[in-house]
Amino acid sequence: MAIWFITLTLLFSSLTAATNSDFFEYISPNSLGLQKEKLLHLHFFLHDNTSGPKPTAVQIAEAQTTNTSSTFFGFLAIADDPLTVAADPGSKVVGKGQGLYGFSDQNEVAVVMLFNFVFTEGKFNGSTLNLLGRNLIFNQERELAIVGGTGVFKFSRGYADLKTYSLDNKTGNAVVEYNIYAFQYY
């Protein structure tokens, strides 16, 4: 019994020691295939339709008080918006903008956006860029942060410049022009 206890104790402490020393290490960027950074400019149009026969964004929640708020405070939507090369919704699709946006300001119309851009074209196919920021949707131009990515966008960061191309106040359907400037590793 005592021998088993000692054996188990030794085994456990040696496992603990091994785990501790394996917990982290410093590696070279090359070991992940990261060589140099280039500044990438992406240009596309995002189509966010909240109405019509096939909406690309749907409301998923709201607060009890949202219907009396002049800024839609508490309205939460989820989107799967096509990204196209031109403002025409029939132009070539290069990816999707998928994420959440919620009206998060009680004094002006501003949304918090958490979006993944998943691209479907060429060397970007399957890679994602992650956007997070505050979007004053009625301003002509605004900036949101690009906080990371996957695939060819691993370790990416930068910003997105958004301009409203068209906004139908009746339906809520919008086309937004995106210029993204982000570092990309090769």
Ligand X SMILES: *[C@@H]1O[C@H](CO)[C@@H](O)[C@H](O)[C@H]1NC(C)=O
Which helix (H) or strand (E) segment holds residue 9: the answer is helix 2-21
Tell the smallest beta-carbon distance from residue 124 to ligand X (Å): 9
Among 7, 59, 67, 106, indicate the residue that binds ligand X (CB under 6 A): 67
How many other CB atoms are found less than 10 A from the CB of residue 100? 16
x/- letters, 6..35, toward ligand X (CB under 6 A): ------------------------------
Q: Judged by CB under 6 A, does residue 151 bind ligand X? A: no
* 151: DSSP letter: G
Tell the smallest beta-carbon distance from residue 170 to ligand X (Å): 9
How many other CB atoms are found less than 10 A from the CB of residue 23? 7
Among 52, 58, 106, 143, indicate the residue that binds ligand X (CB under 6 A): 52
DSSP β-bridge partners for residue 143: 161
Q: Judged by CB under 6 A, does residue 49 bind ligand X? A: yes
User: Would you give the distance in Å from CA 90 to the centre of its chain?
Assistant: 24
Tell the smallest beta-carbon distance from residue 173 to ligand X (Å): 4
Q: Judged by CB under 6 A, does residue 141 bind ligand X? A: no
* 53: DSSP letter: S
Q: Judged by CB under 6 A, does residue 173 bind ligand X? A: yes
x/- letters, 105..134, toward ligand X (CB under 6 A): ---------------xx---xx--------
User: Would you give the distance in Å from CA 104 to the centre of its chain?
Assistant: 17
Which helix (H) or strand (E) segment holds residue 16: the answer is helix 2-21
Contact status, residue 68 vs residue 100, Cβ threshold 8 Å: no
Q: Judged by CB under 6 A, does residue 166 bind ligand X? A: no
Tokens of 73: 């405070």
Contact status, residue 141 vs residue 165, Cβ threshold 8 Å: no
Which helix (H) or strand (E) segment holds residue 178: the answer is strand 174-185
Tell the smallest beta-carbon distance from residue 186 to ligand X (Å): 19
Among 21, 68, 70, 107, indicate the residue that binds ligand X (CB under 6 A): 68
Which residues form the interface with ligand X (CB under 6 A)? 47, 49, 52, 54, 56, 64, 67-68, 82, 89, 120-121, 125-126, 138, 169, 171, 173
